Amino acid sequence: MKVISSEKIPIKMWLENIEGGALQQAKNLANLPFSFKHIALMPDCHEGYGMPIGGVLATENVVIPNAVGVDIGCGMRACKLNTFSTILNREMLLEITEGIRKEIPLGFKHHLEKQKWSKFEEAPDVPIIQRELENAKYQLGTLGDGNHFIEIQKDEDKKIWIMIHSGSRNFGLKIAKEYNDIAKKYCERWHSKVMDISKDLAFLPIEERDCKDYILAMNYALLFAKENRKRMMSKIIDIFRSKIEKNTIEEVIDIHHNYARWENHFNRNVIIHRKGATSARSGEIGIIPGSQGTNSYIVEGLGNPLSFMSCSHGAGRKMGRGEAIRTLSLESEIKKLNEKGIIHSVEENDDLQEAPGSYKDIDEVMENQKDLVKIRTKLEPIAVIKSKKRKNEYSR
């Protein structure tokens, strides 16, 4: 861990090198009047919008929508099957991945029919929720674009695992944008000095009705995101069972890595914002995925108080999407994946955004957080399903 002590409160980093943009964002957080104790940066940290991804922020009595992020409830679901990977030949894997692509809308695609969910009837009476609820009914059980993925993996005992990375889809995005705009209006009305530090860190005081509504909406989006992953996993399991009889589930893990909640740290009740960071309390089970084509890990938290009991949410980007397209070799990235025998989703230049070369070394990331988590299970990729088609807007 490195410590930067030049700002109002320290910045504690679990990485050797940090890009300039992410460091400046961390300094902005450290100079906020309501930031508590220190800023914690996980080893997958990189520049985000307002706050670094892979950052953990504790605040006193305020919530910052951009410190949660636009994909509220984005997270991971991992499922261990009792089936051994040795029975899966390439033809079977191709049939399974094709079945997944047919059953689960990827990218910006949504279901053609409304999905049923009992929680739709219990949606909080918050304006943005009520406005977006009908659209959300088409989004439930869909993957999304960017770094969202479905991956078939094997552990060291050759047992099959399925891993999903997805969040609250456009539903969460609309909530995030709505309340970031509201927070900006508050800060402008009060001539808050926070806007001089960063216009992207507008906040909502906990006693305001709008803050209470944001928390209601955020928590509802967390439920939606978890149900979203659960629905996709159920369909994938059904596809496996159509190919392999007596396929039972041995373990299921589901976690969020974009949210805010009340927690007690250093004997103070504070609001912990985790943006691209995973809770890692002592004994808590977490999921840390690698990049497409590299190992992922099931981990157990060590409860390190200095990280606000948190760890990384993945490998973390080492270059932006545009830079990846400009600088990585498509031929080289495909070759590396093919040599490992992985069924992958890198086929054209746009796919380089999510190629292994655009991400940090996951093993270096894990080494840098040995005091935050211990590895319970190492997972190797067999097949990766990601969106192949990219658009600028959501279709609904």
C-alpha distances out from residue 270 to 7, 25, 261, 327, Å:
20, 21, 8, 42
Q: Which two tokens stand for residue 114?
A: 């409304």
Kindly give the pairing relationship between strand 268-275 and strand 258-265.
antiparallel
Active site residue 313: yes
Catalytic residue among 46, 148, 313, 344: 313
Kindly give the pairing relationship between strand 53-59 and strand 62-63.
unpaired
Per residue, the 3-state secondary structure of the chain, as one string, reads: CEEECCCCCCEEECCCCCCHHHHHHHHHHHCCCCECCCEEEEEEEECCCCCCEEEEEEECCEECHHHCCCCCCCEEEEEEEEEEHHHCCHHHHHHHHHHHHHHCCCCCCCCCCCCCCHHHHHCCCCHHHHHHHHHHHHHCCCCCCCCCEEEEEECCCCEEEEEEEECCHHHHHHHHHHHHHHHHHHHHHCCCCHHHHCHHHCCEECCCHHHHHHHHHHHHHHHHHHHHHHHHHHHHHHHHHHHCCCCCEEEEEEEECEEEEEEEECCEEEEEEEECEEECCCCCEEEECCCCCCCEEEEEECCCHHHCCEEECCCCECCCHHHHHHHCCHHHHHHHHHHCCCECCCCCHHHHHHCHHHECCHHHHHHHCCCCEEEEEEEEEEEEECCCCCCCCCCC
Q: Which two tokens stand for residue 175?
A: 């909530």
Q: What angle do CA 160, 103, 228 make, to 5 degrees?
A: 75
Tell me phi and psi for residue 63, to 5 degrees.
Answer: -120, 135
**What letter represents residue 355's amino acid?**
A
Q: Which of 134, 131, 98, 138 is nearest to 114 (CA)?
A: 138
Active site residues: 313
